[in-house]
Amino acid sequence: MTQLNFTKMHGLGNDFIVINAIEQPFTLTPQQIQHLSDRHRGIGFDQCLVLEASADPDTDFTYRIFNADGAEVGQCGNGARCVAWYCHQHKLTQKNPILFKTATGLLSAQILQDEWVKVDMGVMQFNHADIPDTRTDPLSLNNLNFHTAWIGNPHAVAFVDDVGAQPLAEIATALQQLHPFLNGVNVGLMQRIDDTHIKLRVYERGVGETLACGSGAVAAGVIAMCYFNYDSALNIELPGGTCEITWVDETHPAYLTGPAKTVFEGVLPTK
């Protein structure tokens, strides 16, 4: 029996275990991750985040993301803030910003004050193999019009009158069964508060509804700015708290700013 050290963290209630695979081997299987993510029989988390040494001298670390179902995915904005804060807190680098390599590209995270981190989420794509192009023709389902975007993972977002009154899980399940989303899709429902503030709920593929979704907040914010003339800086209010999104246009990256919190550190027995 060996041991695996981990740190429990969260960004606006979107919770993770962070595993430092620079200092110890990472050997968890998808089935083990799924078991550990169980909130009654395991630790409980939305994603397992794995920090590795980078083989590329131009990047600082490699950052891998596994959803609660054990599947590896390419992007997690709240997780990126937590991994960056972990690196800062454990003095793994003196660099700021910190450059990470992910399964879908590069990601830069800047450490701010009071446990806040600003993440360069990259350039939003509206025409990608994992999403239908809805720039001129939204995708309709249940009398809702969904716009799609890809920012390391696929998102479909629609405006509603009241996010609390919608059966999000039911809508997301139906949407993910459509042909364009054979690899799954993160589904967001957003509600206008004013031109600088929207409320958002997100159902993450492989996880379910979460208290917050960083890439989902970015997708919703950019879609609101792009199609509905919202300001270029938006406060996104999620069930777990509020983050900030800034975006200029399709040629520039989107930025996500919000908190990263350490909850506790622990040790897992592994075979």
Residues 97-141 have pLDDT tens digits of: 999 999 888 999 999 999 999 999 999 999 999 999 999 999 999
Q: Is there a contact between 171 and 144 (Cβ–Cβ < 8 Å)?
A: yes
Residue 29 corresponds to which amino acid? T
Q: Can you give the pLDDT at residue 231?
A: 86
Residues 197-256 have pLDDT tens digits of: 999 999 999 999 999 999 999 999 999 999 998 989 999 999 999 999 999 999 999 999
Distance CA 154, CA 75 (A): 10
2-121+259-270 and 139-257 in the same fold: yes
Report the Cα 201 to chain-centroid distance in Å: 13
Q: Can you give the pLDDT at residue 13?
A: 97
Mean pLDDT of 141-170: 96
2-121+259-270 folds as Diaminopimelate Epimerase; Chain A, domain 1 (3.10.310)
Distance CA 80, CA 105 (A): 13
Residues 42-64 have pLDDT tens digits of: 999 999 999 999 999 999 999 99
Q: Where are the alpha helices (DSSP H) in 145-245?
A: 168-176, 214-228
Distance CA 81, CA 102 (A): 13
Q: Can you give the pLDDT at residue 19?
A: 98
Local structure of 16: helix, strand or coil: strand
Mean pLDDT of 247-266: 96
Q: Can you give the pLDDT at residue 95?
A: 96
Q: Can you give the pLDDT at residue 183?
A: 86
Distance CA 138, CA 158 (A): 9
- What percent of the chain shows pLDDT beyond 70? 99
- What percent of the chain shows pLDDT beyond 90? 88
Positions marked catalytic: 76, 213
Tell whether the model's pLDDT for residue 24 goes beyond 80: yes
Domain limits, the chain? 2-121+259-270, 139-257
- How distant, in Å, are the alpha carbons of 106, 142, 182, 213 from that of 176? 27, 13, 7, 17
Q: What does pLDDT average to over the chain?
A: 95
Q: Can you give the pLDDT at residue 2?
A: 79
Q: Can you give the pLDDT at residue 105?
A: 86
139-257 folds as Diaminopimelate Epimerase; Chain A, domain 1 (3.10.310)
Q: Which two tokens stand for residue 30?
A: 């998808």
> With bands split at pLDDT 50, 70 and 90, how would you rate the model's confidence at 1?
low
- How distant, in Å, are the alpha carbons of 42, 75, 150, 226, 250 from that of 102? 26, 7, 15, 26, 21
